[in-house]
Amino acid sequence: MSSIFKEKSKDPGSYARTGTLHLNGIQIETPIFMPVGTRGSIKSLSSSDIDELGYNLILANTYHLYLRPGKEVLDHFHGLKNFMSYKRALLTDSGGFQVFSLASLFKFEEDGVRFQSHIDGSHHKFTPSSVIDMQRSIGSDIMMVLDDCAPYGSDLGRLELALDRTHRWAKESYNYWMENPGGQNVFPIVQGGVNESLRKRSLDTLQNINFPGIAIGGLSVGEPRPEYIRILECMAPFFDAARPRYLMGVGTVVDILEGVKNGIDMFDCVLPTRNARNGQVFTSLGKINLRNESHRLSDGPIDPECGCKVCVTYSLGYIRHLHKVKELTAFSLSTYHNLFFMQSFMEKMRKSIEIGNFQGFYDHWKNLFGS
């Protein structure tokens, strides 16, 4: 199988690296942050906004798209990209995280999971092959296998069970995908909770299958940050250099810094867009709560060092006003700014690795955003 990833530069003091991801003619520079378009839309932004921001890879959610608009609609429109008028690369998760987050609606079976829709209570089933079929209908460039993400705090028996399911389903998914790759890629998902031995076993098992990339699941799901860092550090020396590594559902500045330091190439999270809608933006000076009274008369931009169209055009005082009166424009302007910030942050990080200054970059931003 031809590689979809090429490593470009490495930081001598850590596992941080830059690279290029090649997806059906689209080049993506890594490390990369992917905005989340759960239902085929990044909340409050249009596809032209995403294009303008320069995001070459975004994420959508298989579970939600399966329920609405459904496979028939996506087949009719020849995939999600045509449906939403987005022409760049797309990654989809498998619905495995919804099994975790909506646990009361799901029931594990030997060959998959049965679940009730959170919308209308209707009954459905996901199997390793059916989620591949759904992602074929979506037309994603990177698909995820169905997995079992054990909750934080699970005992060894539950973690072992999750590993057995995850590995078995990954092998089934790989074999089914290889019958008709169709220009799409599939990543397996490393599990094992905060147990170092299980994490190494999972990584070894899945890297021994010829998947084009590897994903790490089950982190940033409630564990303390020292546990998160410990698990990343235990895996970092064993990552295959030839494959991209995707850390699922991670998107705070500090967590991304720790991920990149330990060799991660790809991140996604709803946090920058969700926080923006709730009035929190990220800046070169740290986080800002737009609703604070202290911003009422501010005639400067959200961030004096930001070149996005929001900061160039609007005052902080005006955007605060929009949030206070709940104008819908507040959501789109704040979201646009936060995604511009994330794009710029990742670009600066790549540059710091290339010029050998990642440690300085890490220290600066960790001090600014560390909690």
pLDDT for 246-289, tens place per residue? 999 999 999 999 999 999 999 999 999 999 999 999 999 999 99
Measuring CA to CA, how many Å separate 223 from each of 200, 218, 229, 232, 270?
A: 18, 9, 10, 13, 18
218 is in an annotated binding site: yes
147 is in an annotated binding site: yes
Concatenate the DSSP letters of all residues of 232-300 into one string.
HHHHGGGS-TTS-EEETT--SHHHHHHHHHTT--EEE-SHHHHHHHTTEEEETTEEEETT-GGGTT--S
- 124 pLDDT more than 70: yes
pLDDT for 217-241, tens place per residue? 999 999 999 999 999 999 999 999 9
Percent of the chain whose predicted confidence (pLDDT) is above 90: 94
- 346 pLDDT more than 70: yes
pLDDT recorded at residue 371: 62
Give the residue extent of every domain in the chain: 5-268, 281-360
300 is in an annotated binding site: no
Asked which of 104-108, 184-188, 299-303, 313-317 is least confident by mean pLDDT, the reply is 104-108
Asked which of 101-115, 154-168, 309-323 is least confident by mean pLDDT, the reply is 101-115
pLDDT recorded at residue 101: 81
pLDDT recorded at residue 105: 84
pLDDT for 32-62, tens place per residue? 999 999 999 999 999 999 999 999 999 999 9
Catalytic amino acids?
93, 268
149 is in an annotated binding site: no
Q: Which superfamily is assigned to 5-268 in CATH?
A: Queuine tRNA-ribosyltransferase-like (3.20.20.105)
211, 247 in Cβ contact below 8 A?
no
The per-residue pLDDT of the chain, averaged, comes to: 96
E strands within the chain?
A: 5-10, 17-23, 26-30, 32-34, 57-61, 89-93, 106-109, 112-116, 123-126, 142-144, 185-187, 189-190, 214-216, 245-247, 266-268, 280-283, 286-289
Binned at pLDDT 50, 70 and 90, residue 324 comes out as very high
pTM: 0.97
Select the more confidently predicted residue: 358 or 107.
358
